Structure 1
Amino acid sequence: MKNGLIATLLGGLVAGTLDILYAFIVYGPLSFGISPQQVLQSVAGGWIGREATRSGGWNTALLGLATHFMLATIMAGVFVLIASQFRALKKNAVLWGFIYGLILYVAMNYVVVPLSHAGDAPGFASSLEDASARLQESFSKVRGGGGADYPWLVWGTVFTHTVLVGIPIALINKRFTAQQA
């Protein structure tokens, strides 16, 4: 139990740090030129919408930072919980971390974002029909990229979810929960 908590917290911290540093670099100087504050505000946009987050300054950036690390910790916790039931996830940590990262990519880009305030539709999904329509639209297009100007961002988003999030979570879980196998 204690080792699982350590794996969850450390996995969330490491994956969250690697992911946000990637976002700062790629969405900053390598493509759109946005600041770390704006990157963090875009995360907060899931709660309060794009317009509100832009006018919130560092308050909304801090909300985005807290949200980012909360999500990374939840992602780590889910993996730790599942891996406690399936030993193969510890034995082949790199493979299963990569696969878990692909699942996270799909979940974040095709479910979480479209159902939040950050999606194209205003507000959270308000009904089962609204959620179903948003998910159907979401799964009908490739997400995670920068459009025609930056098509490589789709692959970068897959890279960050697999190599910088899924694999570190799986390796940290293996390291800290190995004696529980």
Structure 2
Amino acid sequence: MEKLRKEGAVLGIYLGLLVVVLTILPMYYYVSSKSFWTITAGSVITSFLLPLIVAIWFAFILRRKVGGYWSFRQAVTGIFMMLLVASVISTASGFIFEKFIEPDMREQYMRNMQNNTIEFMENAGVGAEQIDEQMAKLDEQIEAAANSTPLDTLKGFAVYIIVAFVLAMIFALISKRERPIFNRIENNEIG
């Protein structure tokens, strides 16, 4: 189990760094983009979909590194370690980036999103009342983001730990691979 945790932590470092890059670098583009779809779909792809695909791929790499077979419990342990390390890196890096490196980046991104949403809704023929409602919601989100504290970051991290454990169980179900019975008998593993 120790090797599994260690290998999971190493892959978690790689995954965490990848998430940081896929979250921060595209943000510079999204801040100035004039396309509603680029901002909404692009951020979902770079911040969620690609890291999810890489995490699944890393789960299979992790299984191979520990011999190609693992039980559900071993899979959950290794994958959860990987996701936990990745989330610590991405959360800490995101907090440092938003508070110290580019403190206005999130607000700029959200203001650009708001402007593109207004334009998209107007082009779609949405009524002024619905647009005003949507803008009020976005204004609340911008205000909440501007007033976020380290405690808010810790609360989000705590929620992510639960999500990471659920994802680890799902990935474990996908990647679980028990050693065939005839190999156990030959290796005197059944007693």
| TM-score, normalization by structure 1 | 0.45
- Which structure has more helix as a fraction of its residues? 2
> Which structure is larger by alpha-carbon Rg, 1 or 2?
2
| TM-score, normalization by structure 2 | 0.43
